[in-house]
Amino acid sequence: MSDILSQLFQVLESRKGADPDSSYVASLYAKGLNKILEKVGEEAVETILAARDAEVSGDSQALISETADLWFHSLVMLAKLGEHPDKVLAELERRFGLSGHDEKASRSHKH
Ligand SMILES: N=c1c2ncn([C@@H]3O[C@H](COP(=O)(O)OP(=O)(O)OP(=O)(O)O)[C@@H](O)[C@H]3O)c2ncn1[C@@H]1O[C@H](COP(=O)(O)O)[C@@H](O)[C@H]1O
């Protein structure tokens, strides 16, 4: 996993014992899964709108920022549910291998 995803996820895990008044992530955990899912949905919509704007304007700054918000809240969702983002990356890696792009994974799949 990329270093920043790994380090950020460690911080998200550490926020499970933090004070909700001093940590945004701890405040999301305290509000519960429904609030986290609401944020994921909100950020997904904002990402879609930013992508539309980026196509028209040619400026992708807002798109990058909204996508970062979406990824961040998705990581909070996984942390809340006790799942590790490495599993998501492993699933992408598996599909990449199945599609034949990864020659090594593709060969070992045939055996
Ligand atoms: N990457 C992020 C990150 N991205 C976005 N956000 C926050 O996510 C929120 C989303 O934006 P909104 O405008 O929807 O927020 P809002 O209006 O305050 O939220 P609602 O009241 O609508 O729920 C903002 O408050 C952002 O500050 C983040 N908050 C924290 N992090 C990382 O998480 C780490 C731990 O954060 P704390 O728990 O706050 O210490 C930090 O060190 C950062 O690295």
For the stretch 3-13, pLDDT in tens is 999 999 999 99
pTM for the whole thing? 0.89
DSSP structure class, residue 58: S
pLDDT of residue 36: 98
pLDDT of residue 100: 81
How far is Cα 80 from Cα 62, in angstroms, rounded to an integer? 27
Q: For residue 24, report the distance from its CA to the centre of ligand 1, in Å.
A: 6
pLDDT of residue 99: 81
Give the pLDDT mean for 77-81: 98
Has residue 105 got a pLDDT over 70?
Answer: no
CB 11 near ligand 1, within 6 Å:
yes
How far is Cα 63 from Cα 36, in angstroms, rounded to an integer? 21
Has residue 110 got a pLDDT over 50?
Answer: no
Domains and CATH numbers, the chain: 4-85 (1.10.287.1080)
pLDDT of residue 102: 64
The answer for residues whose C-beta is within 8 angstroms of residue 87's C-beta and 6 or more apart is none
pLDDT in tens, 20-65: 999 999 999 999 999 999 999 999 999 999 999 999 999 999 999 9
Q: For residue 29, report the distance from its CA to the centre of ligand 1, in Å.
A: 12
CB 75 near ligand 1, within 6 Å:
no
Produce one character per residue of 55-71: b if its CB has 16 or more CB atoms within 10 Å, e if not.
Answer: eeeeeeebbeebbebbe
